[in-house]
Amino acid sequence: MNHNLEFWLEADQAEIQPPPAVEGDSDALPPGDEQQQTPEQDAQQAEEAPDQEDVSEDPQAPDMPEDKEESPDFEVWKSNFFKESAKGDASKLMDMISPMRDKETLEPYQRKFVDDNWNIQLLRMNSNVASASKQIRKSIREQLDKNNPSTSVVNHVFNTLESVPSLNETFIKMMGYSGNKGELHRKFIAALTGSVQVSSSPDKENIIFNEKEYSIKMATRLNSDWGEVALGSWSLREDDPERYLSAPELKRLSEGSPQERDILRRRIVIESIAKQFEEQSFIIDVVNDEGTIYHLGWDMSNALRGAYTEGKVVVKAVKSENSEAMISDDGQIVPMVDLRIYFVKETGGQDEFGNPEVDEIEFMERRNGMLFLTAGLVTIKEASESMQGTELKEVPYAGNPSDLKALKRCVYSTHDLLMRQC
């Protein structure tokens, strides 16, 4: 319907215009020349005229078919899509996405959401992926540690894929896509778990597994080696001490002994990091040159809090040539202090006072506003055995070593991707 006021006015005028003259119509005759009829002629015409319908009870305006209900806006559609994803029916989800893909008015972030999840459902239409996804989802529903959900997810993915070597090989193939591997990995994990992709940002959850009673927000990472896994941005906020310390602790932070102040400062750092990543469960996969796949489920928030309380990690401030800096009011270059978190490992020996001797091994680092998991494989293995919310699984490559190179190169080239004829 046209809601333009000028259109309405013109339409009203058109409705009250007299009908055009028609040949033979008395209205078309000049005034005073109307044909006169006798009463006998009037009666005769009345008898010959067809019966007229009684329209006195008819509506003044005809009933028009109602306009079809407009499709719900994107956010309503997205909410419905999340609810439907809990059922795990890929065909139904594709049916929901199809009409939205054809809309020309989507914002860029909306278009990305639609296209990301279209590709995830295409993966789930594969028979091997569909079968594995069904089993993984069933296992998650039946056995889930809701305090440390990533550990459960990694266990169920690992156990299911053990019987499907071709899907394990997919992790090796993804490494051949270089800079694009992270996005492909994200969609593969979403397809296996039946999750919805909501972001590609390193600072947010990337995929969400939905059930009626709960959801699991997961951040996915894929690397070729340990020691440099980017976790996301983090910086200490000015009000963090007030957020995490009680009034007496705040007083000791400013007036206590050097040791007290140091302990409280470290605790603030741990609490701040844990709070920021509280709703992210990390699914980190590493595929090395030998084709060995490592699956790490890491609920960082619980892991850090528990390890700090138990004395298994320590926080230290560091300065380096690569640290950020600022210029003070008097023109001095002031280096910004970054930090490292060390994993504390007992060596089995004793120090001079008879206490257990320990080594402090680099575990995490903040550089230029970004947190990294910098621990090597040996440290990751040791942490998974002693830190809660940490689960590591290892899948050695079981194929012929000569086939490994072919697997890594079993990818579309840039030419294949860009020169495809549509």
- Tokens at 254, concatenated: 């400013």
Residue 375 lies in a domain: yes
Residue 254 lies in a domain: yes
Least confident of 131-145, 162-176, 291-305: 162-176
Within this chain, do residues 83 and 97 fall inside the same structural domain, yes or no?
A: yes
Q: What is the pLDDT of residue 25?
A: 41
Residue 61 lies in a domain: no
* Residue where a domain stops, chosen among 298, 329, 347: 298
257: domain range? 235-276
Within this chain, do residues 254 and 325 fall inside the same structural domain, yes or no?
A: no
Within this chain, do residues 178 and 247 fall inside the same structural domain, yes or no?
A: no
Q: Is the dihedral of CA 379, 385, 391, 397 positive or negative?
A: positive
Within this chain, do residues 257 and 288 fall inside the same structural domain, yes or no?
A: no
What DSSP string describes 180-227?
GHHHHHHHHHHHHHT-EE----TTS--EEEE-SS-EEEEEEEEESSSS
- Tokens at 141, concatenated: 């529903």
Residue 20 lies in a domain: no
Residue 221 lies in a domain: yes
Count CA atoms within 13 Å of residue 160 on its CB side. Answer: 23
Within this chain, do residues 82 and 157 fall inside the same structural domain, yes or no?
A: yes
Residue 32 lies in a domain: no
User: Which whole number is the average pLDDT over 63-89?
Assistant: 77
Q: What percent of the chain has pLDDT over 70?
A: 80
In order of 216, 306, 311, 343, the CA distances from 387 in angstroms are 20, 7, 11, 10
Which span out of 93-97, 165-169, 175-179, 415-419 was modeled with the highest average pLDDT?
A: 93-97
Residue 365 lies in a domain: yes
From CA 94, how far away is CA 90, in angstroms rounded? 6
Mean pLDDT of the chain: 84
Q: pLDDT tens across 271-317, in order? A: 999 999 999 999 999 999 999 999 999 999 999 999 999 999 999 98
Q: Is the pLDDT of residue 17 over 50?
A: no
Q: Is the pLDDT of residue 48 over 80?
A: no
Candidates 114, 51, 119, 39; CA nearest to 81 is: 114
Within this chain, do residues 195 and 240 fall inside the same structural domain, yes or no?
A: no
Q: pLDDT tens across 341-366, in order? A: 999 998 888 888 888 888 999 999 99
Q: Is the pLDDT of residue 37 over 70?
A: no
- Banded pLDDT at 29 (limits 50, 70, 90): very low
Q: Is the pLDDT of residue 20 over 50?
A: no
Residue 24 lies in a domain: no
Within this chain, do residues 249 and 315 fall inside the same structural domain, yes or no?
A: no
Q: What is the pLDDT of residue 316?
A: 92
Within this chain, do residues 243 and 265 fall inside the same structural domain, yes or no?
A: yes
Within this chain, do residues 371 and 347 fall inside the same structural domain, yes or no?
A: yes
Q: pLDDT tens across 317-342, in order? A: 887 666 666 676 777 776 667 899 99
Please count the structural domains in the chain: 3
Q: What share of the chain is helix, strand, coil (3-state, %, to 5)?
A: 45, 20, 35
Q: What is the pLDDT of residue 368?
A: 83
Within this chain, do residues 136 and 177 fall inside the same structural domain, yes or no?
A: yes
User: Which whole number is the average pLDDT over 144-170?
Assistant: 95
Within this chain, do residues 370 and 258 fall inside the same structural domain, yes or no?
A: no
Q: What is the pLDDT of residue 349?
A: 85
User: Residue 211 is which amino acid?
Assistant: E
Neighbours of 36 (CB within 10 A): 5
Least confident of 32-41, 187-196, 224-233, 390-399: 32-41
Within this chain, do residues 197 and 92 fall inside the same structural domain, yes or no?
A: yes
